[in-house]
Amino acid sequence: VSEEQVEASAHAEPEPRVGRRQLLASIGAGGAGLALGAGGFAVGRERGLEARRPQPSLAGRSLDFFGYHQAGIATPAQDRLHFAAFDVVTERRSELRDLLRVWTRAAARMCVGDPAAPDRGNPLAPPADTGEAIGLPPARLTITFGFGPSLFGRPGSADRFGLAALRPPELDELPPLPGDELEPRRSGGDLAVQACADDQQVAFHAVRSLARIGRGVVVLRWSQLGFGRTSSTSRAQETPRNLMGFKDGTNNLKIEDQKLLGEHVWVGESAEPGWMRGGSYMVARRIRILIEVWDRAPLEDQEATIGRRKVSGAPLGAGTEFDAVDLDMKSGTGKPVVPDDAHIRLASPVSNSDAMLLRRGYSFTDGIDGRGQLDAGLFFICFQRDPRRQFVAIQRRLGAHDALNEYIRHTGSAVFAIPPGVSPGGYVGQGLLE
């Protein structure tokens, strides 16, 4: 199966087909007109904006923005990331709703390689589009939107948008976890935008344009660039390497595992609240890798830390990358071949079949830390049905016992509800806001 075939089915509706009918019934058809005015955008209802077919050419292909699920989750991971978390600064629900409408239209346009808004042809006004992506291919851009717990009101503060009763129980703030060294300036947020593309400038243009459109309604809270995907999310992709030099994504959930995605990633057809059906939950963690310390560790220690061979990616005690991991195997001296504190042992779902994740992270480097050390690492992103049973359960084990802890620091954190995908004429989060 080629990567193109995988992409084509990635956001498709699961069987049975009743799902989309229910979704369409619950979100209605189309939004009313609006004039947001922010950042020079005055966008009326764009009746002409229909789902366009992805471009067939391989280089710079476009991916469907519209679909039952949002793109950017079960989409073979692109090479680049621009992630941004926003805070909503308006108190008006109608302004939040209008923003999501305009964001949806702009995102759909950018994903087919069009400017964020149609040109108004007025040389006396700022150009409708900022211009840096003109002439660049769509580069498989996906834009995935999420809602943070704080959008639904904080304990002890007013429920700004009247959404508290619609907050899914799965969208708890993440609890303090062992080993956390979180920086508030890299954590949280009311809204998330994950832009992934094969071209960094295309991903940047997406986030910049959405921030520009949102002026007066949202402010950027923090953002993160990523390069070199650290997970394969499809069997058609080769497993990439993270900055520790290890293959990352071997035992990831893969897009081809539709049944497992249904069990572990997508919110089910009978889940409550209903606006999340077909959605998912994202956890993002900025994990700094103490690269200089890691680089001084002997190869044997590095491999014992992960539980796999560095070059081949094979589990310790096995021959090749995709061989099954045997956690019960003992050496001649009776010691476990995959050590008790190895990352793959503690992260493994064997002891808890509920705890599988779709990992979709990226490497990052943010210059140096003031002491001459690289501030680089892994921007870990994962998708799941319930972060409490999945990410939190795994990270409790990892944070307490993982041999990797000697070499990493979790410096940023956020959790978001990822609403379902959008039909042409609808907008992201419509089920929540209407």
Return the residues of window 379-398 that contact ligand HEM according to CB under 6 A: 380, 391, 394-395, 398
**Which of 378, 428, 432, 433 forms a contact with ligand HEM (CB under 6 A)?**
378
Residues sharing a CB contact under 8 Å with residue 27, sequence separation 6 or more, in sequence order: 423, 426, 430, 431, 434
d(CA 188, CA 272): 24
**Which of 191, 357, 422, 428 forms a contact with ligand HEM (CB under 6 A)?**
357
**Which of 306, 327, 403, 433 forms a contact with ligand HEM (CB under 6 A)?**
306
Q: Does 363 bind ligand HEM (CB under 6 A)?
A: no
Segment interacting with ligand HEM (CB under 6 A) among 26-34, 50-58, 130-138, 247-255: 247-255
Measured between alpha carbons, how far is residue 422 from residues 105, 107, 427 in Å?
11, 11, 6
Return the residues of window 402-421 that contact ligand HEM according to CB under 6 A: 408
Closer CB to ligand HEM, 105 or 343, in the complex: 343
Q: Do residues 366 and 360 touch, judged by C-beta distance below 8 A?
A: no
Position 277, amino acid: R
Q: What phi and psi values does residue 84 have, to the nearest 5 degrees?
A: -145, 140
Segment interacting with ligand HEM (CB under 6 A) among 39-47, 202-210, 242-250, 368-376: 242-250
d(CA 289, CA 294): 8
Q: What phi and psi values does residue 4 have, to the nearest 5 degrees?
A: -65, -40
Segment interacting with ligand HEM (CB under 6 A) among 94-102, 196-204, 270-278, 341-349: 341-349
Q: Does 344 bind ligand HEM (CB under 6 A)?
A: yes
- Per rule CB under 6 A, count of chain residues that contact ligand HEM: 29
| Alpha helical stretches, state H, 214-280 | 258-264
Q: Do residues 223 and 207 touch, judged by C-beta distance below 8 A?
A: yes
Closer CB to ligand HEM, 35 or 322, in the complex: 322
Q: Does 251 bind ligand HEM (CB under 6 A)?
A: yes
Per-residue tokens: 203: 């991903």
CB of 377 to ligand HEM, least distance (A): 6
Distance of CA 53 to the CA centre of its chain: 23
CB of 81 to ligand HEM, least distance (A): 15
DSSP bridge partners of 315? 308
Q: Does 233 bind ligand HEM (CB under 6 A)?
A: no
Segment interacting with ligand HEM (CB under 6 A) among 154-162, 181-189, 254-262, 377-385: 377-385
CB of 331 to ligand HEM, least distance (A): 19
Per-residue tokens: 287: 């994990």
Q: Residue 97 gets which letter from DSSP?
A: H
d(CA 291, CA 295): 6
CB of 407 to ligand HEM, least distance (A): 8
Q: Does 287 bind ligand HEM (CB under 6 A)?
A: yes
Task: Quickly count: other Cβ atoms within 10 Å of residue 259's Cβ.
Answer: 8
Containing 194, the helix (H) or strand (E) segment is strand 191-197
Q: Does 244 bind ligand HEM (CB under 6 A)?
A: yes
Closer CB to ligand HEM, 34 or 376, in the complex: 376
Closer CB to ligand HEM, 302 or 430, in the complex: 302
Containing 412, the helix (H) or strand (E) segment is strand 408-418
Segment interacting with ligand HEM (CB under 6 A) among 31-39, 92-100, 213-221, 342-350: 342-350
Sign of CA dihedral 103, 144, 83, 141: negative
Segment interacting with ligand HEM (CB under 6 A) among 99-107, 142-150, 160-168, 282-290: 282-290
| Alpha helical stretches, state H, 182-335 | 200-213, 258-264, 291-295, 299-306
**Which of 289, 304, 422, 428 forms a contact with ligand HEM (CB under 6 A)?**
289
Tokens 């998330």 map to which residue? 192
CB of 30 to ligand HEM, least distance (A): 40
Task: Quickly count: other Cβ atoms within 10 Å of residue 421's Cβ.
Answer: 23
Q: Does 265 bind ligand HEM (CB under 6 A)?
A: no
**Contact positions vs ligand HEM (CB under 6 A):** 242, 244, 246-252, 285, 287, 289, 306, 308, 325, 343-344, 347-349, 357, 377-378, 380, 391, 394-395, 398, 408
